[in-house]
Amino acid sequence: MSLMGQMMHKPLLISSLLEHAERHNGDIEIVSKRVEGDIHRANWKSIALRSRKLAQALARLGLQAGDCVGTLAWNGYRHIEIYYGVSGSQLVCHTINPRLFPQQVAWIIEDAQDKVIFVDSNIFPLIEKLAPMLACVKHVVVMAARENMPRESALTNLLCYEELLDAEDGQYQWPEFDENTAASICYTSGTTGNPKGAVYAHRSTVLHAFAAALPDAMCLKATDTVLPVVPMFHVNAWGIPYAAALVGCKLVMPGPHMDGASLYNLFEQEKVTMSAGVPTIWLGLLNHVKANDLKFSTFKTTIIGGSACPPAMIRTFENDYGIEVIHAWGMTELSPIGTLGRLKSKHADWSTEDKQKLLEKQGKSIFGIDMRIVDTEGQVLPWDGKSPGDLEVRGHWVISSYFKVDKSPLHDGWFPTGDVATIDPDGYMQITDRSKDVIKSGGEWIGSIDLENVLMGHPAVHEVAAIACAHPKWDERPLMVVVKKPGAEVSVAELLAFYEGKIPKWQTPDDVVFVDELPHTATGKIYKLKLREDFKNHKLPTA
């Protein structure tokens, strides 16, 4: 018989994060730029009280443990209250991406059987059209005060968020229950087929928050002021609303105001020290600061992930603005953090250039995530930094199955990510491509990320995508689809010549086409499926 530990058993519940924040860091601010356009100031104490009132209101509406509650909302204090009020009271918070096609929004609401939908007033028209068709939705709550409620609406089940809260006294004790209970659901964007739901547990969410805050992860501290640009409707804003409560830092929420000028003003006014978001959003901010010759006075670090961060963007942040970029990799199915680019002590005496090269990779895994790469037969590949293989992961915050899908997604106990990567002997992982985007040229694979990164380093290039284009001899060859910087002039030949000496010659793209803009998915990634469709009849000059 083993000797059992004699420690208190406290289930890892999301409500405990908020209780800690309220008790120990109650006066730390949550500042939101609201849909209404003004700045709203709250703190962990007021958020905690309002979250409890919300839990009471949801009980009054008749919701029961396990019921799903949808949100269609930007980053803001009310959305944080919903995160905690819903999950904390044993309901399931289902964040919905308002940028999905309306049919997809309707589909996932039906799939999750959301009983109540919380919606920001400027997203209301979307749900107003869909709600009458959604039998499961009993109430639509507009996240506004009475005076900002929609004037006229055909919806009969409309409620006002502030009125719901005003009717409660906040005398509510968070219930204690099994830490493996579902806390939230996020659907993948489903660029192919229907979206699939990842169901996060309280336990996995709290463990992820611990890990996310660690020094070699996001390195979140009580002294930080964090502005998550990554939306709360996409994988819980990478866990920041939870990790921030855990460390007791100030949060600054941008609402729907994501353009370069609005973000810059918020960074400066609220003295933001760190941020996180996908590469495309930073393009807008960097363009704005460059065009207006601005500098950042407090912004020190940003986590960039969601798609490959071009090295040129890292250099711009670091050299022009003194901001450290931490390249990170993850996905919806991983809550989402998997790896981050951080150094080990052995790198201390490496040259700056070698360190920079290493940190351009997606990085090493944090405790809680294990990874491996396998070949097409499922054989495990070596960590030599050269052999690319299918990346598989397992760990405390990796899904074991999708919501309502019987078939296990796992391969041999590991979750296949759909990404192709190399891992070097020190455990640094580098994504070469998504397996469905790899360019298959005469039996060899060409990773599109490398090709894109080269052109992102060209001064005339604003954004670029490498896609596979049909070729009579090689099956597929790379075609570069390029958006030029405003006012920049550059020719196809110049861009192709720019590859010389930067990649193996046989990988040099066969052609470049210029477009005004690239299509993006609802999560801000380049929509390659659409591009391949658009250019399926493109004739390569080499064909």
Other C-beta atoms closer than 10 Å to the C-beta of 282 total: 22
Which stretches within 316-429 are classed as H helix? 321, 352-359
Q: Which of 34, 202, 525, 528 binds ligand ADP (CB under 6 A)?
A: 525
In whole angstroms, give the CA distance from residue 507 to residue 496.
11
329 binds ligand ADP (CB under 6 A): yes
**Which residues, at least 6 apart from 416, have a Cβ–Cβ distance to it below 8 Å?**
390, 391, 392, 409, 410
In whole angstroms, give the CA distance from residue 95 to residue 98.
9
Catalytic-labelled residue, pool 95, 181, 188, 301: 188
Q: Which of 418, 483, 496, 503 binds ligand ADP (CB under 6 A)?
A: 418
End-to-end CA distance of the chain: 72
**Token match 């007021």: residue?**
46
Shortest distance, position 308 Cβ to ligand ADP, whole Å: 4
Burial category of 85 from C-beta neighbours within 10 Å (exposed 0-12, middle 13-18, buried 19 and up): buried
Q: Which is nearer to ligand ADP, 434 or 458 (CB)?
A: 434
| Whether residue 440 lies in the annotated active site | yes
- Quick one: angle between helices 279-291 and 260-269, nearest 10? 80
Q: Distance from CA of residue 361 to its chain's centroid?
A: 18
Q: Which is nearer to ligand ADP, 235 or 245 (CB)?
A: 235
Shortest distance, position 475 Cβ to ligand ADP, whole Å: 23
Q: Which is nearer to ligand ADP, 273 or 430 (CB)?
A: 430
Q: Which is nearer to ligand ADP, 85 or 277 (CB)?
A: 277
Shortest distance, position 524 Cβ to ligand ADP, whole Å: 9
Query: What is the x/- site pattern for ligand ADP, positions 217-236, by CB under 6 A?
Result: ------------------x-
- Find the part of the chain contacting ligand ADP (CB under 6 A) among 2-10, 67-75, 223-231, 327-335: 327-335
Shortest distance, position 339 Cβ to ligand ADP, whole Å: 8
Catalytic-labelled residue, pool 81, 333, 463, 476: 333
Closest of 159, 132, 149 to residue 60, by C-alpha: 159
In whole angstroms, give the CA distance from residue 210 to residue 220.
10
**Which residues, at least 6 apart from 492, have a Cβ–Cβ distance to it below 8 Å?**
511, 512
Please name the amino acid found at residue 377: E
523 binds ligand ADP (CB under 6 A): yes
Q: Which is nearer to ligand ADP, 245 or 303 (CB)?
A: 303
Q: Which of 22, 29, 419, 452 binds ligand ADP (CB under 6 A)?
A: 419
Q: Which of 121, 332, 422, 507 binds ligand ADP (CB under 6 A)?
A: 332
362 binds ligand ADP (CB under 6 A): yes
In whole angstroms, give the CA distance from residue 139 to residue 157.
5
Which stretches within 248-377 are classed as H helix? 260-269, 279-291, 311-315, 321, 352-359
Shortest distance, position 150 Cβ to ligand ADP, whole Å: 30
Q: Which is nearer to ligand ADP, 25 or 236 (CB)?
A: 236
Q: Which is nearer to ligand ADP, 86 or 100 (CB)?
A: 100
143 binds ligand ADP (CB under 6 A): no
Catalytic-labelled residue, pool 271, 344, 404, 440: 440
Catalytic-labelled residue, pool 318, 445, 485, 530: 445
189 binds ligand ADP (CB under 6 A): yes
Dihedral class, residue 369 (left if φ above 0, else alpha if ψ from -120 to 50, else beta): beta
In whole angstroms, give the CA distance from residue 175 to residue 406.
30
Q: Which is nearer to ligand ADP, 47 or 112 (CB)?
A: 112
- Find the part of the chain contacting ligand ADP (CB under 6 A) among 211-219, 289-297, 330-338, 394-402: 330-338
97 binds ligand ADP (CB under 6 A): no
| Whether residue 357 lies in the annotated active site | no
Closest of 384, 473, 397 to residue 211, by C-alpha: 397
340 binds ligand ADP (CB under 6 A): no
Q: Which of 16, 181, 301, 417 binds ligand ADP (CB under 6 A)?
A: 417
| Whether residue 333 lies in the annotated active site | yes
Shortest distance, position 430 Cβ to ligand ADP, whole Å: 9
In the DSSP assignment, the letter for residue 150 is: -
In whole angstroms, give the CA distance from residue 372 to residue 429.
9
SS3 417: strand
Q: Supply 513's token pair.
A: 């086409």
- Sign for the CA dihedral angle at 486, 489, 491, 495 comes to negative
Q: Which of 80, 158, 201, 431 binds ligand ADP (CB under 6 A)?
A: 431
- Sign for the CA dihedral angle at 312, 313, 314, 315 comes to positive
Q: Which is nearer to ligand ADP, 13 or 531 (CB)?
A: 531
188 binds ligand ADP (CB under 6 A): yes
331 binds ligand ADP (CB under 6 A): yes
| Whether residue 350 lies in the annotated active site | no
Among positions 290-319, residues that touch ligand ADP (CB under 6 A) are 305-309
Binding residues (CB under 6 A) for ligand ADP: these are: 188-189, 235, 305-309, 327-332, 336, 362, 417-419, 431, 434, 521, 523, 525
Which residues participate in catalysis according to the annotation?
188, 333, 440, 445
